[in-house]
């Protein structure tokens, strides 16, 4: 399978339209530092049957930016779009509205995510006049996976964190998941976890068995959100394990045999500046910083 990193930023992107912090200002001055909302395209054995993991505000630009994802040849329109969701956050889901020109949108999500989108965001009611929205359950890892375009997909449950618009919804371990992608022909496996609230035993086992792991890189250290005044909570308190420090993900990922890449960077993360010394710290541990538009073959 081929993995194409369409976007690598947390909510708001880099730059965020209403922010002039050093990360956002730097991205305005240096367009190569711009990052769009995190999303992944997956191409299986049939390269014309690509699918997406998460569909955020940039989705149509993502599809237009890569030749393999464009319609054609001729007058044909892309008839079906398949989207897997890691959670119900607006920055991972509002792209579904922008895909309404498709004849059919196939959405694979866990039960609580599906309920939030149908009942709180009224996606069925809103989109039915434009397209057909088909919902599919994303099975838990260990259960029989779903075949999507030749790739076996399932979900590693990560946390009960609900989006703010569904804060009073029932707790469920499937609110935030890592998507597990397995190519049965090549025997390769990838994990995509743009929001990782805790390092569970199950996630550790899945990561240790994978060939490629994408992990939450929202914040560099636990105090970053408080130090920079964007939240009263720590990184962990906001549902994102930090990269560095005790309990951070870097020390967990470094011993793994997998190719490990960080994604979902907030504009406060020093890694949005390519000259930051933090890049060297990760490189010394064999860990990578994902960029928009990377292609990984597994």
Q: Applying CB under 5 A, which residues contact Zn ion? A: 19, 21, 24, 267
Minimum CB distance to Zn ion smaller for 97 or for 230: 230
Give the span between the Cα atoms of 223 and 127, in whole angstroms.
41
Q: Which of 104, 25, 59 is nearest to 268 (CA)?
A: 25
Minimum CB distance to Zn ion smaller for 21 or for 43: 21
Minimum CB distance to Zn ion smaller for 21 or for 63: 21
Sequence-distant (6+) residues with CB within 8 A of 154 are 138, 139, 140, 141, 142, 143, 145, 146, 179, 180, 182
Minimum CB distance to Zn ion smaller for 154 or for 267: 267
Q: Residue 248 CB, nearest distance to Zn ion (Å)? A: 22
Q: Which of 287, 112, 91 is nearest to 207 (CA)?
A: 287
Q: Residue 14 CB, nearest distance to Zn ion (Å)? A: 7
Minimum CB distance to Zn ion smaller for 21 or for 153: 21
Q: Residue 292 CB, nearest distance to Zn ion (Å)? A: 17
Minimum CB distance to Zn ion smaller for 127 or for 228: 228
Minimum CB distance to Zn ion smaller for 30 or for 103: 30
CA 101 to chain centre: 23
Give the Å distances, CA to CA, from 83 to 42, 47, 78, 169. 10, 16, 14, 23
Give the Å distances, CA to CA, from 42 to 118, 142, 191, 200. 25, 21, 12, 25
Minimum CB distance to Zn ion smaller for 33 or for 100: 33
């Amino acid at each position: 399978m081929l993995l194409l990193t369409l976007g690598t930023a947390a909510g708001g992107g880099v730059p965020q339209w209403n922010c002039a912090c050093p990360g956002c200002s730097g991205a305005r001055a240096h367009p190569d530092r711009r990052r769009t909302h995190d999303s992944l395209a997956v191409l299986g054995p049939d390269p014309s049957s690509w699918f997406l993991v998460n569909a955020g505000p940039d989705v149509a630009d993502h599809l237009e930016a890569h030749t393999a994802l464009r319609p054609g040849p001729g007058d044909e329109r892309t008839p079906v779009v398949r989207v897997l969701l890691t959670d119900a956050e607006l920055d991972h889901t509002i792209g579904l509205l922008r895909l309404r020109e498709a004849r059919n949108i196939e959405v694979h999500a866990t039960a609580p995510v599906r309920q939030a989108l149908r009942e709180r965001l009224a996606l069925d009611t809103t989109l039915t006049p434009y397209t057909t929205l088909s919902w599919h359950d994303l099975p838990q890892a260990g259960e029989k996976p779903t075949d999507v375009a030749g790739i076996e997909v399932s979900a590693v449950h990560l946390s009960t964190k609900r989006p703010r618009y569904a804060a009073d919804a029932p707790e469920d371990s499937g609110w935030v998941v890592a998507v597990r992608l397995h190519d049965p022909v090549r025997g390769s496996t990838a994990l995509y976890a743009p929001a990782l609230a805790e390092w569970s035993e199950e996630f550790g086992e899945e990561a240790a068995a994978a060939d490629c792991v994408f992990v939450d890189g929202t914040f560099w250290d636990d105090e970053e959100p408080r130090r920079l005044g964007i939240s009263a909570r720590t990184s962990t308190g906001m549902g994102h394990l930090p990269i560095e420090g005790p309990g951070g993900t870097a020390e967990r990922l470094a011993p793994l045999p997998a190719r490990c890449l960080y994604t979902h960077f907030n504009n406060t993360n020093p890694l949005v500046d390519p000259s930051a010394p933090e890049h060297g710290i990760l490189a010394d541990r064999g860990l990578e910083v994902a960029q928009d538009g990377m292609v990984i073959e597994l």
